[in-house]
């Protein structure tokens, strides 16, 4: 169990458009979801933590208006990159946990975003 | 200060041999969790093993074991009987915080290459 899916896996868009990435927990209820960004050959950088039904908590330096996060249900969180620019090109990964203190995070397969 | 430190950017190991990947951490929390993830070239983060700060026994999962030395704040991953499929990036991570708000920090990773 504990499968997390992400859609789409690949997206190429023009500069100035908005892109929505979905993260779903398929066989469990995810009280908490996390969004990460990973540049090539670098580690994962936490962007924000979202709890179902409440506003996301963003990490320092992450623009809230640029990266909109909606945790609408216990199985779905979305990340919208608004007015995307080439510097937003990256690998975005979500993870989900049931929210217990000692709970493992389960990761989605990631979404590669390329902004032209 | 770095929360998670992985000092080995790259490692080589002969097939069927054991290898240890180093990880040290820094936290003032009493309750925390330590994780190891594997990231193959496909990008997906694969959960390997978890150690809770209050766990007295070292965690083991098949060929993976975590050498947890709390006083030294180290959580090294030991892979026994290496296989060619073990070639990947390995990330050590730590979760701090309580239910409802957690933060996970990743190390910079170690690239493991298994030699036939």
- Chain B residues inside the 8 Å CB shell of A93: 43, 45
pLDDT at residue A103, as a whole number: 65
Query: How far apart, in whole angstroms, are the C-alpha atoms of residue B105 and residue B13?
Result: 27
Tens digits of per-residue pLDDT, A66-107?
A: 999 988 888 999 999 999 999 999 999 999 987 655 567 889
Chain B contact present for A58, CB below 8 A = no
**Residue B1: CB partners within 8 Å, gap ≥ 6?**
B26
- Chain B residues inside the 8 Å CB shell of A104: 33, 35, 47, 50
Query: How far apart, in whole angstroms, are the C-alpha atoms of residue A85 and residue A114?
Result: 9
Chain B contact present for A42, CB below 8 A = yes
pLDDT at residue A53, as a whole number: 77
Tens digits of per-residue pLDDT, B5-45?
A: 999 999 999 999 999 999 999 999 888 889 999 999 988 89
């Amino acid at each position: 169990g504990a499968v997390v899916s992400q859609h789409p896996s690949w997206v190429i868009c023009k500069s100035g458009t908005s892109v929505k990435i979905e993260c779903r927990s398929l066989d469990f209820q995810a009280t908490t979801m996390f969004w990460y960004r990973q540049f090539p050959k670098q580690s994962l950088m936490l962007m924000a933590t979202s709890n179902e039904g409440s506003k996301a908590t963003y990490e320092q330096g992450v623009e809230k208006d640029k990266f909109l996060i909606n945790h609408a249900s216990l199985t779905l969180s979305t990340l919208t990159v608004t007015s995307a620019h080439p510097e937003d090109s990256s690998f975005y990964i979500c993870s989900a946990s049931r929210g217990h203190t000692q709970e493992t995070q389960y990761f989605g397969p990631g979404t590669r975003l390329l902004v032209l | 200060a770095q929360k998670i430190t992985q000092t080995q950017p790259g490692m080589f190991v002969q097939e069927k041999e054991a290898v240890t990947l180093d990880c040290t951490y820094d936290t003032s929390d009493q309750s925390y969790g330590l994780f190891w993830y594997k990231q193959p070239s496909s990008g997906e983060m694969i959960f390997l093993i978890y150690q809770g700060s209050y766990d007295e026994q070292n965690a083991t999962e098949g060929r993976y074991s975590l050498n947890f030395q709390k006083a030294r704040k180290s959580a090294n991953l030991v892979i026994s009987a290496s296989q060619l499929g073990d070639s990947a990036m390995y990330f050590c991570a730590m979760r701090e915080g309580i239910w409802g708000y957690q933060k996970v920090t990743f190390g910079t990773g170690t690239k493991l290459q298994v030699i036939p």
